[in-house]
Structure 1
Amino acid sequence: FSCLDYEFRHHDYPRTKMWNESRDCCSWDGVTCDLLTGHVIGLDLSCSQFGESIHPNSSLFQLDHLQTLKLDNNNFNHSSIPHNIGRLTNLRHLQLSGFEGRIPIEISYLTDLVSLDLYCSKCELDERTFEAMLKNLTNLELLSLSEVNISSRLPVNISSSSLRYVDLESTNLQGVLTESLFLLPKLETLKLGYNDLLEGVLPKIHPSNTLLELSIPHTGISGELPDSIGTLSSLNLLYLEGCQFSGSIPDSIGNLTQITELLLWGNHFTGHIPSTISKLKHLTQLVLSDNSLGGAIPHVFSNLQKLVSLDLSNNNFTGPFPSSVLNLTSLRYIDLSHNSLNGTIHSWVFSLPSLHDLKLHHNQFNRVDDEIQTNPTLETLYLSHNQLNGPFPRSLANLTSLDFLDFSSNNITGDVGINITFPRLSALFLSSCELKDFPHLLRNLKTLQFLDISNNKIRGGIPNWFSNMRWDSLEHLNVSHNFLTGHLGEFHYHNLEYFDLRFNFLQGPLPSSICNLSSLRILDLSRNNFSNSIPNCLHMMAKLTVLDLRSNSFSGILDLGNNGINDTFPAWLGTLEELQVLILKSNKFHGPISARKRFGFPQLRIFDLSHNAFNGSLPADFFRNFKAMMKNGRDKSDSRYLISNNEVYEDSVRLVIKGNDMDLERISTIDTAIDLSCNHFEGEIPKSLKDLSSLRLLNLSHNNLIGHIPMELGKLNTLEALDLSWNRLTGKIPQELTAMNFLEFLNLSQNHFGGRIPQGSQFSTFENDSYGGNLDLCGQPLSKQCGTSDSSHVPEPLEEEEEEEDESYFFSGFTWESVVIGYNFGLVVGTIMWSLMFKYRKPKWFVEFF
């Protein structure tokens, strides 16, 4: 054992640093010896922080009498399981993790194995080794291969009849689910979930009094749930969520009298909740959400005295709140949202002694009981999107432990004369109601973190008492889409991260206190009448990801959107390293774009400087800063919305086609675009653009660019739209551009190109308009054949007047227009003022892009 001592101890691992050759190795931590022979029969080095691989000839494999080996929760430096593991023929228990690569077939030689636990998400198990395991390891009782990449079918024949526990979750199992595993006579736990390619129907289940857990969630299993499911008389846990089951839930489900957790959500079940569920007296969790169940919710819950969680959301239930939950003293969580329930929310609903969370949003309830007893347990209450009318319900004041209250999208008119104190409330949502004043109850709230009173009818100035509130914990404040007037006073919410005042009538300068918002991530003051200069302190807000100041009357160095400021490029924006979308279009910016060393924007995905007066060349180093555009963005499976700090900022895009508006919502991480059109840029197109491998839209039209199109642009294989029209470009169109397999829009018109138009791939789909005004071009789709010449013309220089007169040529390529329209709590889009407007006759490519 001395070799093993040196091998593991000289690295000073926590479990082995106390190993000492002067002491009997049987006394070492993690070592177990046979009391009679003194042979080492157990070695437990789990959680030992190993960082080295095990050498193939390690002395570990000389422990011929070893029966138990545990090496889990370590890191073996990207190494694979050594083949010599097969020499430990006396092993009964093997537990490994932290390895990578192919699992050796030699493990199937360990025929004495009783338990095999291989947890390694970067390991692969080929079909031959998998079948050999299930054939040779006849003594196996526990098999856990969770997250191992198997990528093969389940074997039809399984010789390991002793199996009690089988975990094959997240292993990329494929093919049809067979009954082979269900025939194992001693099986207690079967876990096959999170294998999308595992399909077929649930096979007929043979009666079993041993199976305790059946877990097949998030697979492609479809069809009806068989009646034979009721023969699993000892079943405790049934997880079938996120599959493709359809039809009715069988009445035989009531025979599972020992079940504690029943999860059937995310399927296509129809019909009613079976009345036999009332027999499941041990049930603690019932989740039937996200199906197509309907009708009135039956009175089946009164016997379920151990029920803790009830979720029937996202179905088609109608009628009143189910009164059969009245006596469920253990119930902590109720979610009946997204149904068509109606009537009154009775006081007894709030009397459930253990209730913590109540979600009744998106229903048709029209009243809350006037009398509610004090409830010290309820913390979360969702009542949004119902038909509640009148003043804020006074009875809710007795919910003294309330932490989260969402009353949005109801017809609540106010709370005048009502004294309500929620001592623990941290989140209050009253958006899209009928409020005409700032709610008085806000005066009593000291612990707010989230406040949304947007989309109401609040008029007049922001009251002094509101501005003077000392909400040190407030992070999210949304007062947008109201009728506020007057000046924005000094405020004291210095920990704000989300501040939205858009679509009001506020005016005057911004208060100096805005400079104290060092944690700000989203600031939207658009669509007001603010004036004076924009504070320079904004460049100190390093966490800022959204800044929208458009459609105001600001003056000074920065104007983001239709304010008409005449200034140079605001280079200080480069210090905002989290900035993802920057649009400065339609202003009077002028001068060159700075390529100074500090210029950053590593996260930028949308960059629009169109319709200004920028000039000078496009510096190659400028585009090398756009690191986020250098990642491959073609795979839509990796698409997600731009987020920032768990708050939602939803942006929409308005596509304008010949005067018709089309709204497209939100920005994805695969949406990348550069629009520098309608400026005075000159010089050649930088070759460094080729590195922006995820770029999907490039518009350099209406400038004074010269030279050839760099052949390197052909490497932009995700590009879907390219507009170089109305420049002074010359030479041939590079054949390399035909490698752009996703290109759906091309405009090279009004340049001085010559020679044959490249053919192949997407170029075969473009029509004459893509090449108009280039009189020396020939070949398809033009009628001019190559080999003929016309010496009677000389290319005319591009005049600015000519551009303006013929601005409509080919629908002017494509342009952008900011139409940022929505915020909602729950998802945050981390962007800065973004919008799109394309004037192009066939928007298919654009619609798919977004």
Structure 2
Amino acid sequence: MLTGHAIRLELSCILFGGSIHPNSSLFQLHRLQTLNLAYNDFYPSSIPNGIRRLTNLRHLNLSDSSFYGKIPTEISNLSNLVSLELSGYGLQLDKRTFEAVLQNLTNLEVLSLSPVNISSPIPMNVSSSLRYVNLVDTNLRGVLTESFFLLPNLETLKLSDNNFFKGVFPTLHPNNTLLELSIANTGISGELPDSIGTLSSLNILNLYGCQFSGSIPDSVGNLTQIRELDFSDNNFTGPIPSTISKLKQLTSLDLSDNSFIGSFPSTIVTLIRLQHLYLSSNSLSGPLPSNASMLQKLTFLDLSNNSLNGTIPSWVFSLPLLYSLWLGHNRFSGLANELKTNPTLEELHLSHNQLSGSFPQSLANLTNLSNLDISSNNITGDEGINITFRSLKVLQLSSCELKDFPHFLRNVKTLWVLDISNNKIQGQIPNWFSGMRWDSLQFLNLSYNLLTDRLPQNYYHNLEYLDLKFNFLHGPLPSSICNMSILSLMDLSHNYFSDSVPSCLGSIANLTVLDIRRNNFTGTLPSFREGSTSLTTIVVNGNRFEGHVPVSLLKCHSLEVLDVGNNVINDTFPAWLGTLTELQVVILKSNKFHGPISTCQTKFCFPKLRIFDLSCNVFSGSLPAKVFGNFKAMIKLDGEDTGEIKYMKPSEKSFYIMYEDSVRLVIKGQEIELERINTIMTAIDLSSNHFEGVIPKTLKNLNTLWLLNLSHNNLKGDIPMELGQLNMLEALDLSWNRLTGKIPQELTRMNFLAFLNLSQNHLIGPIPHGQQFNTFGNDSYGGNLDLCGLPLLKKCGTSDSSHVPQPMESEEDEDESYFLSGFTWESVVIGYSFGLVVGTVMWSLMFKYRKPKWFVEFFDAIVPPENRRPKKRAQRQQT
């Protein structure tokens, strides 16, 4: 410090913290050529402007030191810099400084700015001395030009993870210096030019996750020095070029998630250095080659999600270094009879094929398997088979034809995951199974079988996931189930469990999902204690619970879904639920709730609520206009984009466990189960109560509402013309009330309206025409004797007589005409679906017609086919 003659200062990875003062003695080291402060923690200080004094700097490395804010412009004046490394989140580099760095630092060879926020295009002219450029995840803009490819000394160019960086791949000039090129996860599109083959020295080429289309040019075979080639997740078509066989240095080839056709490229088997081969999610067909003995170094092989067929050849299982093998979602029809012992194979995925017969004895030779997935095949059992898997941790046998618990499980002591769901296993859970000492078992799925009798007392204490739904289990729930203290998901739904539930269910600390719907549980709901704050979903629909909704639910701060429908709960409206700020779905239907709907006393009530079902209760009083005003999630603000379909965030614990909420609605007379609740689905059902008074005009503010059902109440007055502002509404049911006046012409503005029921009111005058109203039939207006005009037979102007409103029908008469209610929401049941994360979760529709047979026959006889269904909506049908 006395002379300032130090030329090199290496202070990386020594846990420096705090800030660097602008007048620090560091900046008095005027002869300093190398300064390395990488991997320290200077948060939240910025890079000091005093750096400009170190004019002799040749190497500056401040990477991953938690500097924050704008990179000082003065850095672009350090004209002697040879390497500049400023990688780290929290830093920003303005356009002017970025251009100056690339153009003015004429000695610069190494530039690493990932993931600094640049948000600028790459300038046209850059320093010709550049050798290494890393601009990964820097929010680059603009288009890809050939400027970098013209640099005479460039060896590495990394531009990946810049979604707004677009353009087409430029035509290239021959280059024998570039060793690595990565533009993965960018908006680069178009066809890959034939000139790609001129990069003769390339070792690594990564085009993953772009938007390339067309075929791969044969010139790719000229990249004879390449070791890693990744063209995955694009739109490439055609056959895989045979010239790939020239790439003798190749160790990793990834062509997955494209649209390649043809047979398995037999030329690949000549790539003797290949270690990783990914061809999954294409349209490859035909059998595998009978011999691939040259692939002796292969460790990972993924051919899943194609249309490959035939038997699986024995060489697949005998590759000496193979660690992981994925052949699922093909059409393979058998296994090799004799498999050689393979000491390296640990992962074997054969799901969704056409394998049949008993559990393959030949698999016993794969002694080190840790992960075996043979689900969705026609495997019938393992009678007479002796298999010992010493290291098996994950076993998936769902959707097979098993009739008993696999006997070889007696020899397995190391399981973490066991899934034998959706089989034909019947009878009691055997004693040997419930008595197994699987101390490491975390996931157990026995759902969709024919299991009977009671649940055994002994269960596995380390379980995180227990799924027993859709069986015939009965009797009380043993209190020992609460010994599973780290349980995260418990699904006992669709069984015959009875008696009260153990009170300890409300205090399992890690429980996020509790689903015990469709059983015969009685008594009151359990109290939820301070340890229950992890709960996101509580579903108890379809039992015989009574009493009140426990106020202890206020301790469940993360609660998103609450479904207590179809019980005998006798309570007033639990307005205090509105203080649960994450609550999105509330189902109270078909209970004995009574009294008016009151609002909570806090400023923001139900801020995220999107599905609200109070139907089939004894609620009374006027419709709660003030409560509707709190439903902020049903209001689209100006400039807010709600068009993108997203889904309620799944509760994901591991690769094998995913839980997603689903909603079941009766819409247009059909029961539809959506296995994921998208975040733009909004619904209000207050039907079959004793509400009276007028329909609040404030409903117009809920401009993202999809479904509104106010039927079977005592509502009076006119239909507010303001409802026409609900331009996202798909289903509106106001039937079986005492509404008067004309049908507002403004309702024809609802362009997405696919179902309308205004029947059994006292409406008068002509039926509006236009837009969706032209698609509705007679049953949308039945029982309104003073309505006229199409689609009714009564013409307007033929009678001036008015009809005196009649009293509401008795329950017997109402049931007799029940078919007229159409959109009655017989169930809005919140459930969930879970599964193995092998691909994408799709929508599932389940239809159930409710109209009596005599009416269907009568309806078919008098209504022309073209008037029986509303027209499909052009824009929203795809969702």
Q: TM-score if structure 2 supplies the norm length? A: 0.77
Give, in whole Å, the separation in 2 of the partners of 1:297 and 1:769. Answer: 57
| Preserved contact between residue 237 and residue 261 of structure 2 (Cα < 8 Å) | yes
AA paired with 1:67? Q
AA paired with 1:397? A
Matching of residue 268 in structure 1 with residue 235 in structure 2: yes
1:307-706 map, 5 Å: 307-323=274-290, 325-558=292-525, 560-593=540-573, 601=580, 603-616=582-595, 617-621=597-601, 636=644, 639=647, 641-646=649-654, 647-650=657-660, 652-668=662-678, 670=679, 677-678=686-687, 702=689, 704=691
**Offset of 1:775 from its aligned partner?**
9.5
Taking a change above 3 Å as real, the CA distance of residues 621 and 672 of structure 1, as seen in their structure-2 partners, is farther
| Preserved contact between residue 814 and residue 838 of structure 1 (Cα < 8 Å) | no
**Offset of 1:726 from its aligned partner?**
7.3
User: Which residue is 2:93 aligned to?
Assistant: 125
User: Which residue is 2:777 aligned to?
Assistant: none
Give, in whole Å, the separation in 1 of the partners of 2:387 and 2:499. Answer: 40
Which stretch has the larger CA shift, 178-187 or 102-111? 102-111
* Identical aligned residues as a percent: 53
Give, in whole Å, the separation in 2 of the partners of 1:323 and 1:213. Answer: 35
| Preserved contact between residue 310 and residue 333 of structure 1 (Cα < 8 Å) | yes
**Structure 2 portions without partners, runs of 5+:** 526-538, 610-630, 635-640, 774-785, 788-801, 851-868
User: SS of the residue aligned with 2:337?
Assistant: coil
Taking a change above 3 Å as real, the CA distance of residues 735 and 46 of structure 1, as seen in their structure-2 partners, is farther
| Preserved contact between residue 261 and residue 282 of structure 2 (Cα < 8 Å) | yes
User: Which residue is 2:794 aligned to?
Assistant: none
**Offset of 1:155 from its aligned partner?**
1.7
Give, in whole Å, the separation in 2 of the partners of 1:302 and 1:157. Answer: 44
| Preserved contact between residue 729 and residue 752 of structure 2 (Cα < 8 Å) | no
User: SS of the residue aligned with 1:301?
Assistant: helix
AA paired with 2:34? T
Give, in whole Å, the separation in 2 of the partners of 1:127 and 1:797. Answer: 75
Give, in whole Å, the separation in 1 of the partners of 2:697 and 2:371. Answer: 57
**Offset of 1:38 from its aligned partner?**
4.6
The Cα offsets for residues 205-248 of structure 1, whole Å up to 9 and x where unpaired, read as 22122111011111122222222222222211110111122222
**Offset of 1:185 from its aligned partner?**
0.3
Q: CA RMSD in A?
A: 4.5
User: SS of the residue aligned with 1:590?
Assistant: coil
Give, in whole Å, the separation in 2 of the partners of 1:771 and 1:660. Answer: 18
User: SS of the residue aligned with 2:362?
Assistant: helix
Give, in whole Å, the separation in 1 of the partners of 2:421 and 2:472. Answer: 14
**Offset of 1:47 from its aligned partner?**
4.1
| Preserved contact between residue 687 and residue 824 of structure 2 (Cα < 8 Å) | no
**Offset of 1:756 from its aligned partner?**
14
AA paired with 1:418? I
Which stretch has the larger CA shift, 370-379 or 300-309? 300-309
Which of 36, 46, 51 is the equivalent residue of 1:70?
Answer: 36
| Preserved contact between residue 326 and residue 349 of structure 1 (Cα < 8 Å) | no
**Offset of 1:717 from its aligned partner?**
7.1
Which of 177, 181, 184 is the equivalent residue of 1:217?
Answer: 184
| Preserved contact between residue 654 and residue 837 of structure 1 (Cα < 8 Å) | no
| Preserved contact between residue 342 and residue 367 of structure 2 (Cα < 8 Å) | yes
Give, in whole Å, the separation in 1 of the partners of 2:840 and 2:484. Answer: 19
Which of 41, 47, 67 is the equivalent residue of 2:7?
Answer: 41
User: SS of the residue aligned with 1:325?
Assistant: coil
The Cα offsets for residues 92-117 of structure 1, whole Å up to 9 and x where unpaired, read as 22233533333343322222221122
Taking a change above 3 Å as real, the CA distance of residues 132 and 640 of structure 1, as seen in their structure-2 partners, is farther
Which of 823, 828, 837 is the equivalent residue of 2:834?
Answer: 823
User: Which residue is 1:278 aligned to?
Assistant: 245
User: SS of the residue aligned with 1:135?
Assistant: helix
| Preserved contact between residue 414 and residue 439 of structure 1 (Cα < 8 Å) | yes
Which stretch has the larger CA shift, 633-642 or 304-313? 633-642
| Preserved contact between residue 730 and residue 754 of structure 1 (Cα < 8 Å) | no
Give, in whole Å, the separation in 1 of the partners of 2:661 and 2:351. Answer: 22
AA paired with 1:611? S
Give, in whole Å, the separation in 2 of the partners of 1:739 and 1:123. Answer: 45
User: SS of the residue aligned with 2:7?
Assistant: strand
1:740-819 map, 5 Å: 816-818=827-829
Give, in whole Å, the separation in 1 of the partners of 2:605 and 2:391. Answer: 46
AA paired with 1:91? L
**Offset of 1:132 from its aligned partner?**
2.3
Give, in whole Å, the separation in 2 of the partners of 1:605 and 1:314. Answer: 36
**Offset of 1:511 from its aligned partner?**
2.8
Give, in whole Å, the separation in 2 of the partners of 1:671 and 1:239. Answer: 36
Aligned length: 780
The Cα offsets for residues 287-310 of structure 1, whole Å up to 9 and x where unpaired, read as 111112222223323443322111
| Preserved contact between residue 91 and residue 113 of structure 1 (Cα < 8 Å) | yes
Give, in whole Å, the separation in 1 of the partners of 2:310 and 2:756. Answer: 64
| Preserved contact between residue 379 and residue 403 of structure 1 (Cα < 8 Å) | yes
AA paired with 1:612? N
Taking a change above 3 Å as real, the CA distance of residues 106 and 389 of structure 1, as seen in their structure-2 partners, is same
User: Which residue is 1:294 aligned to?
Assistant: 261
User: SS of the residue aligned with 1:190?
Assistant: strand
| Preserved contact between residue 683 and residue 705 of structure 2 (Cα < 8 Å) | no
Give, in whole Å, the separation in 2 of the partners of 1:52 and 1:731. Answer: 69
| Preserved contact between residue 654 and residue 664 of structure 1 (Cα < 8 Å) | yes
Which stretch has the larger CA shift, 647-656 or 543-552? 647-656
Give, in whole Å, the separation in 2 of the partners of 1:41 and 1:735. Answer: 80
Which of 213, 217, 225 is the equivalent residue of 1:250?
Answer: 217
| Preserved contact between residue 680 and residue 704 of structure 2 (Cα < 8 Å) | no
Taking a change above 3 Å as real, the CA distance of residues 768 and 320 of structure 1, as seen in their structure-2 partners, is closer
Which of 173, 178, 201 is the equivalent residue of 2:168?
Answer: 201
Give, in whole Å, the separation in 1 of the partners of 2:721 and 2:73. Answer: 51
**Offset of 1:529 from its aligned partner?**
2.3
**Offset of 1:709 from its aligned partner?**
5.7
User: SS of the residue aligned with 1:153?
Assistant: coil
Taking a change above 3 Å as real, the CA distance of residues 775 and 105 of structure 1, as seen in their structure-2 partners, is farther
Matching of residue 115 in structure 1 with residue 115 in structure 2: no
**Offset of 1:41 from its aligned partner?**
3.3
1:101-112 map, 5 Å: 101-112=69-80
| Preserved contact between residue 408 and residue 430 of structure 1 (Cα < 8 Å) | yes
Taking a change above 3 Å as real, the CA distance of residues 592 and 542 of structure 1, as seen in their structure-2 partners, is farther
User: Which residue is 1:156 aligned to?
Assistant: 124
**Offset of 1:378 from its aligned partner?**
0.9
The Cα offsets for residues 298-327 of structure 1, whole Å up to 9 and x where unpaired, read as 332344332211111111222222355323
AA paired with 2:594? N
Which stretch has the larger CA shift, 651-660 or 260-269? 651-660
AA paired with 2:466? F
Give, in whole Å, the separation in 1 of the partners of 2:72 and 2:319. Answer: 56
The Cα offsets for residues 427-481 of structure 1, whole Å up to 9 and x where unpaired, read as 1111111111111111111111111111112222222211222222111111121
| Preserved contact between residue 451 and residue 471 of structure 2 (Cα < 8 Å) | yes
| Preserved contact between residue 642 and residue 828 of structure 1 (Cα < 8 Å) | no
**Structure 1 portions without partners, runs of 5+:** 1-24, 27-36, 680-701, 785-791
Give, in whole Å, the separation in 2 of the partners of 1:121 and 1:90. Answer: 27
Taking a change above 3 Å as real, the CA distance of residues 131 and 603 of structure 1, as seen in their structure-2 partners, is same
User: Which residue is 1:694 aligned to?
Assistant: none
User: Which residue is 1:144 aligned to?
Assistant: 112
User: SS of the residue aligned with 2:196?
Assistant: helix
AA paired with 2:36? K
Give, in whole Å, the separation in 1 of the partners of 2:424 and 2:757. Answer: 50
